[in-house]
A and B are shown apart, each in its own frame.
Chain A
Amino acid sequence: MIRLDDVGYTYPDAPAPALQHVSLEVPPGSITGVVGASGAGKTTLAKVIAGFIPQVEGGELTGSATVDGRNLAELSLVEAVSKVGLVIQNPFNQISGARYTVRGEIAFGLENLGTPRAEMAAGVDEVAALLRITDLLDRSPYALSGGQMQLVAIASMLVLRTPVLVMDEPTSQLDPAGTRLVFSVLDTLEEAGVTVVIFEHKLELLQAHADRLLVLADRTIALAGTPTEVLADERLSGWGIGATRYTRAARLARERGLIGAEVPLPVSFDQAAAVFGTGAGGAR
């Protein structure tokens, strides 16, 4: 679905590239998590995949980036956004404010693209039902919680029927309840066949929901694999990404000699339960 080959990018007037030698592949209908320390180039990569670079930002993009078989560099921004939806960090900034109800807010993108009225109304209802926000439709978008606003932002993208949804740290400004709300939608999206690329810090949640993980370090993709493979990699801490709470607990246990050095570090609850053994097995 998404394919990047040796992509490099330098912002206008910037002395050094923000991305270099980035190659990655995202299969259709999958959920791919991208982790990386701040400053590693996450937002830049998100904007490349969403078609905002170089169309809006300018600067120099090298290598090839294709979405759905189309070369992103050859698409206009309007064409690119019809392929890839983008959800950003701050839910407040994604509410256009152009409409006074959640229903109107979700329809705003369809109005811009000139969708016929009946199709538009049906689309809004369908997306709202999918994300279970039908009861919010007649409320003011500004009267919602952060998590609900982020769901409205996701709905506003989904309604455009873009095959790919890029989420750039969608939960970084949300409370734990809002974070759970957004992650709970990921599985729904996967069932609906949407390809999701999510840039996130919360490793435990990525482990639970993502099919694949990519690690962005030193402006390039340093590691790729299943969440279990990637999260077990010893180099993550060195890249400033940290480790899951299970890994951290096991490390502490290892330092104190509670478990042996030969035992592989766990990255999920189930693995941790197996490592620490007693009693925890049936809890989940």
Chain B
Amino acid sequence: MTSSATATPNKSRNLALVVGGTVIVLATYLYLVISQPTELQTSSTAPAGLIAMAGYLVGAVLIAAGSIHRLSTTTIAMIPVAIALNIVVGQLVAVIGLPVYLDSMGTVLVAALAGPAAGVVTGILTNVIWGLTLSPIVLPFAVVQVVIGMMAGYAARGGLFRKPWLPPIAGALTGVVAAMISAPISAFIFGGATGGGTGALVGMFQAMGQSLLGATTMQGLLSDPLDKLISFTVVYLVLSALPARFKQRFPFVRQYQVFGKAPAAKA
């Protein structure tokens, strides 16, 4: 491809950015879970909200910066449509009144066709654009979309889009990770109050004796795996309805045989 020649000199730098960003995200999560900054206390040495915000933001930005240069122009041209899909379907679902979000189907779609780097960029920019157009409260959650894009890309690379029963599993797994990563944001930045239904669940878990972080984690585990399971499955169904020649145009799809072996070209 045309862009690979220009990307090569910075390959190690890009890899360092992605690895560094991932380490920062994981370290932020582990610190917040292990140190258990229970609640806001004036004596708290390290403000949990600030650490959650800064660690996740820096991590997400580094991963995205390391990913953007790996993308071909075709992939770049596809991402705006995928983001629009995320946002428009996300809003539509809210209007129809479904109990899930379905705001990452575009991310999963791009990741399945063009790989983890494309998924990462779609994910982070979805939240940036959501923040610019609708509401800034999604911005602190950008890292969650980054994780979803990355995991969906690696799921595609690992062959989890080859059999119909695999995408739901990959989706549920991605949902578990997404729930865990997003829990500290819900807890320490929003006090568990990200919405009416989710807030009620957090309150219920707290009343049952859970800590704030425990309650947001459990609330996330109730909704995210189901949401991502549906998203991955719907994307799989939509993609399997498309003709193979569309999908085989993507170098990522050909290289990793994302949808199994390419059928022999028919005359």
Contacts and interface: CB of A to CB of B under 8 A. Distances in A.
Direct contact of A and B (CB under 8 A): yes
Interface of A: 13-16, 55-56, 76-77, 97
B2 interface: yes
Contacts of A14: 265
A16 B265 CA distance: 10
Interface of B is mostly: loop
B206 interface: no
A264 B265 CA distance: 47
A55 B2 contact: yes
Interface of A is mostly: loop
B163 interface: no
Interface string B37-79: 0000000000000000000000000000000000000000000
A77 B267 CA distance: 30
B265 A56 contact: no
Contacts of B80: 97
A74 to B, nearest CB: 15
A13 B248 contact: yes
B2 A15 contact: no
Contact of B265 (A15, A55, A76, A97): A15
A241 B111 CA distance: 43
A56 B267 CA distance: 23
Interface of B: 2, 80, 248, 262, 265-267
A16 to B, nearest CB: 7
Contacts of B262: 13
Nearest to B267: A15
Contacts of B267: 15-16
Q: Which 3 A-B pairs have the closest CB atoms?
A: A15-B267, A13-B265, A77-B2
B82 to A, nearest CB: 14
Contacts of A15: 265-267
Contacts of A76: 2
A210 to B, nearest CB: 32
Given A15-B266, A16-B267, A56 B2 contact: yes
Contacts of A16: 267
Contacts of B248: 13
B177 to A, nearest CB: 33
B263 to A, nearest CB: 10
B5 to A, nearest CB: 9
Nearest to B251: A58
Output the residue of A13, A76, A77 with the most chain B CB within 10 A. A13
Contacts of B2: 55-56, 76-77
13 contacts: A13-B248, A13-B262, A13-B265, A14-B265, A15-B265, A15-B266, A15-B267, A16-B267, A55-B2, A56-B2, A76-B2, A77-B2, A97-B80
